[in-house]
Amino acid sequence: MKLYLASFLEPENFGPGRVIGIVNGDKPNHIKCDSQFKQLTPDKELTETYTEMVKAGDNNAGKQFVTNFTAQLDAFAKDVIKVADKEGKTVQDLLPFKDGDTLASWEREYFTNYRSLITPFLKKLGYEVVSR
């Protein structure tokens, strides 16, 4: 099953399926965003801490964000694999994604974004990932 990771600002990179937000807060009005998947969205506290650290000029903001978000993703992956094994199902049976769906955040393709952190976890869960 193929999933796309893209920016709301670059709909030309979307897959043919639904658009699912992986952001907290607003989504664009001109794009139909079918839902939000919180497990792949940096939690609000993490985002707020990162923003405060950047404003304070803390050079460790990015590193801390990556460490904490990676831990969040790792815990999610372990949990979903455990449940799938326990129930005798595949991860794809448990998660709401369909072939061609796009997981969207705000940052453009060539700017720093957290979609690159999500890609290896989705691959670990058995998805083919197109990240732009």
pTM: 0.91
Q: Can you give the pLDDT at residue 66? A: 95
Q: What is the pLDDT of residues 100-130, one digit of tens each?
A: 999 999 988 777 789 999 999 999 999 999 9
Q: Can you give the pLDDT at residue 58? A: 95
For residues 51-66, average pLDDT: 95
DSSP string, 70-96: HHHHHHHHHHHHHHHHHHT--HHHHS-
Of 14-23, 26-35, 42-51, 56-65, the one with minimum mean pLDDT is 26-35
Contacts of 124 (CB under 8 A, 6+ apart): 77
Give domain limits for the chain. Answer: 2-131
Q: What is the pLDDT of residues 14-39, one digit of tens each?
A: 999 999 999 988 788 888 887 899 99
Q: Output DSSP code: residue 59.
A: T
